[in-house]
Structure formats: C-alpha cells, structure tokens
Structure 1
Amino acid sequence: MSFAEKSSPPASAIIANTSRGYHILKIDGYSLTKGTPTGESLYSCQFTMCGYRWRIRYYPNGDRSDYADYISLFLMLDQTVAKEVKTKSRIRFVDSTEEHPSLTSSNVESFHGQHRYSCWGRSKFIKRVDFEKSKHLVDDSFTVRCDLAVINQIRSEEMPAPKFVSVPPSDLNQHLGDLLATGKGADVVFEIAGQTFAAHRWLLASRSTVFRAELFGSMKESGTADVIRVDDMEAQVFRALLHFAYTDSLLPETQTKEEEEDVMCQHLLVAADRYSFERLKLVCEEKLCKYININAVGTILALAEQHHCDGLKKACFHFLSSPTNMTAASATDGFQHLSRSCPSVMIQLIAMSSRSHSA
C-alpha cells in the first residue's frame, strides 16, 4: 500500500511577542563622578519603557572591588510586579559604530518581580583608562543608550499553508464606473443646467430610495421621454453624485483640488441629503470638519443644522467653545447668515457661551 504525500506538510511556529524601546542617558561632568566609591552607584531619573518603570545605575568605579578599574552600567527594574519580567537588553555608547559583543545581551534576562531593584548589566562595561582616552568622552561628558525588548507572550500557532491561488480585490466599482462612462444600456437621461447625463434606472433605484420612487414609483410620469430635469443643482455636483452612485467613491478631482474641495463638499452634501445617499453625506461631513475655521464655521454650522448632520454640528460647536473663536467668528458674514437662518442654533450657542463664562 502506498501513501500519497501531502502537498502542504503541516508547519508551526513559536512566536514571542515583544515591546521595544530605548532610553538615552547623558553623564555630564564625568570627572566629578569619579569620586564615587567602588560599589556605589549613581541613578538616572526613573523612566517608563515597555510598560514598566526603570532606572539606569552608573558605577564610575565598578560595582564591586574586582571591577574597580572599570565603569559598570546596569538596567534596574524600579518597581515590584506580580510576575517575572523577561527581557533582552543592550547598553552601548550612542556614538558606537559597531556592535561590540561585551555590550550586547544575546540571552533572555529575567527581572524577578517580587525583588525590586532587580538589575541586568555589565560590570566590565569599559575599562576606565581606555575610556578616558576614547572618542566617547567629549567635554567631560558621555552618553549611553539602553535598548530594551520585553517579552510579553510566547505562543505557538500553526503556520498558514502556502497559497497557490490569489484572489484579487473586487473590481465591481471599476466595471460600474465604466458603465457610467460609456453609457451602454442607459435608459434614463438627466438634464442639469443645460448638460445631460445618461444613467441606468436599475442601478440608481438600488442605491437611493428617492431615485427608486422617481424612476419606478408613483412619481414616475407615464409616457415621458425619459428625460428628467433637475433644478437647483450644478452640473458638476450631479456628475459627482452619479459617480458615487456607481463607484461608491468621490471623483478624483473632488479629492485633489483642495482649494475647491470645501465648496464642492458643501454642495455635494446637500445633493446627498436630497437623494438619500447617507454614506456620501457622511463622507462630506467628515471632509468638511477639517475646513472649520473662523470664516467658514457659520456657513458650515448652518448647513449642518439644515441637513441634520449631527457630527458636523458637534465639530462646529467644539470649535466655537473657544471664546476667542466665538468672538472672531461672530463678526463674519457666515455667522450673520447663521443667525438669520437658524435662530435655534444661536440660542444653543448663547447657552453654551453662558456656561463657559460661569464655569
């Protein structure tokens, strides 16, 4: 009996999740630190790295008598924790051009959580006489860097089998966009400001309840020539609306001409609300949030109120919560328009302003 070999033998991996960081310590006035007795250290400020609190211990004359001719450096865990902390760490001069073996830990070091001041480091970091002749000492100062990786979790997992078939992302929007561009199979024409746009009833009806009612419901007039006039809208805005209906994305020029994007987004938001394109409405709201400023906030806030854009309205209120912004904006034409068209919003702003002054 023969057994067929599997084309993809099982494979697994042991993965160690780690957090990484580093700390820079400068010893300024090295010669003055040399008076520190052997076995006594100077401490860096406490710093937080990889979720734990640490200090660096600097021994100018070695951490014990055997290493009195050396500078010793240690990384110290400056807190007690519930479990063992496993790390890989390295201390080196910041101007080092090579990785010296004596400065690197190739093994996993453990800091035992119940023992505060647990340390790892190098007793023989560098011989003091060699250090004082080296390029590392400049103007009686030197700087070291401590790199740290804390091993948070070690897990085993099955490795995915090799893929022989790659499925590309959907290109439906591209095909529908081509359908709009070519007009093949179009069965309805819109006329806006003297320009005509051919489209497909079935697609527009699937995207908008307003189009559905207009094209297939009771609003459809029998015996018409399938030309629908759209008033109170610019042709370029309707073009952008159709493009979104077919591709679920904005026209490229809408996204690149930043000096015109804010105005286009205002008009497109109105069109999206008119034809019940909720996602397009939210896209326009999000974009308009970045255009809120002293001169535009009044106009944008009026637009948000009239078209029920709660997020955009909150962004305007947040901007106007600054007394400085409120004072400057209230003198603009847009704010005067806001006071005339949306008196209820002005009442809310007055109440907000009163609360901020009383706070």
Structure 2
Amino acid sequence: MSDMARMVVELKLEIDKEPSCSKSVNETVNGSHQFTIKGYSFAKGMGSGKCISSDIFTVGGYDWAIYFYPNGKNPEDSSMYVSVFIALASDGTDVMALFELTLLDQSGKGKHKVHSHFDRALESGPYSLKYKGSMWGYKRFFRRTSLETSDYIKNDCLIMNYTVGVVRTRLEGPKQYSIIVPQSNMGRGLKEIMEAEVGCDIVFRVGDESFRAHKLILAARSPVFRAQFFGLVGDRNLDEVMVNDIDPTIFKNAFMQAMLLFIYTDKLPEVHDVMSSSSSTSTSTNIIQHLLAAADLYNLDRLKVLCESKLCEELSAVSVATTLALAEQHQCVQLKEV
C-alpha cells in the first residue's frame, strides 16, 4: 500500500470513531435549620465572646452548628452588636459551601432580615471551610439596641434560619444503553375486560337496565364499594345491586359509561363518546354534573376534581346557577369560588 493510500485509510478510521465525552456537574446539596432562642433577655448579659449554640444538624454529609453571641464575638470590635456564625462541626478539609442567614420578622409583615451567600455565588464563589470549627457569619450582624426594639424579637424570643448548600462535584460519562420503555396499557386492558364483560361478578339494576362489573376492581378504586362488598357489614356473596331513584338514562351515561370508564382506566372520558341517542336532550354539562355527584357519592376524589375542572371550562350564563348549587351541595370549594 502506498503512503498516500495508507494516510487516507488512517484518516477514515479517525473520522469513523465516535467522539468521547464527559460532563462535570457542580451542584449544591441544600438543607436548613431553624434555631430559636427563648428568653433572649437572660442571655444578653453573658459577656462578649460567649455564645449560645444550636443542636448539631447534618447537611450534605457534614455536621453543622449555629453560634449566637448576644454581646458580640470580640470585645474590641463587636461588643455593641450581636454576632452570628455557622461552623463546620465534623471533620472535613476544604468543604465548599454556600450559606443564607435569615432573621425572622415575627410581626407577620414578612420583612425578614436576609443575608444570602447564594446570591453572590457567581461573583465570589462558595466559601471554603478548611477544618473542623471553621466558621462563616457576621461579627457585626445587628446592633443590639436596634435588635431589641425590632419586630425580630417577640415575647422575648428570637428565631433565625440558616440554610447550607454543600457543593458537590460529580462526573457524568456517556450512557452505554438506550431502551425505549412502552407506555402503560393497563387501563386499556381493563377497559377491554369491562366492555367484553369477562369475569363480571356484580350486576347493577336500574329500572329495566342492567350493567355488569367486577367487585374487586370497584372495591380497589372506591372505599364505598369496598365497604359494601367486603366490609365488616358487607355481603361478600352479593351479586346484584338495585339502584333506585335514578333515571336509567342519566345512570347509563353518568355512571355506567363515564364513571365505570374512569374506575377502570383512571381517565375522564370524552362526554360525546358516552352519550347515546336516548340522551340527546342531555347536555355535556348536565352529564358532568351528574358524574360529579356520583363521584362524591362513591368517594372517587380524583374523578370529582376532574369534573370540577371540566365544569369550570364549560361555565356559562346558562349553567352557572345549577353549577353553583352543585358545588355547594358537594363541598366543591374551588368550583364554588370560580
């Protein structure tokens, strides 16, 4: 092989190779600790350089503690202030972390005093704690006379919150596999069983209409059916339920077609798919209203909320009165507000 041909082959081999790649991900593991000092007035005379410490708490695999100095950390430059620090309380070398100190406003106005290292991370980067006992905080955090007349102290109680973000670095390499996971078809399978009436063991009778279903599936989805079929006072041998005072047309649409479809598939069906010719006088809103009432009756909370959402979308001058009455009757707070 000539030198030119060999060079072409080698070049092609280099081009055909898949490029390698990796990713270094820097992120923080965050955690917070609330430190409450009750009886603040009894602590403020303890002297400069003396502190009150919190319980030790863990964030990012390291132990931490908060130190509050009522008369300042150093007598020469902070005796007129309160000092607050957080310290590494476990062994560690060059632990990189971000901090946020919040003094809680107890007046209810939400005017908390916040000092956040997180906001300055892009400018100064995380703080490095070199050894156990390394501290981050403020020697002159708050002038003591101003603090004692502020809303940060109430009933002789001071509350502060420290958030720690420990910086972690991890290396991500290329994934060596890719498996496509199909969508769940459990709902479709149960729907097919329901429509084919395979293995049905309970019959609902409404007038001249009868509807077949499965007690186990109904009991798994509704606590009302579970109690009726398998509860302490339930009848395990029950194979027929008579439903009185419900119009068969409404029952067939709102219960049989829609509610059972939800029970078996966990989805709210399209109303036009379940409305039959015998219910041509019923509107979509009317069907959803009856379905909401049925959902409330059988403790199907998700279906009830789905119906609330649907009624909100279809709200009009024609339906607002009946929808408001329905919301009041079935304790639908969100629907009532809309």
- Which category describes the TM-score, using the shorter chain as reference length? 0.3 to 0.5
TM-score (norm 2): 0.46
TM-score (norm 1): 0.43
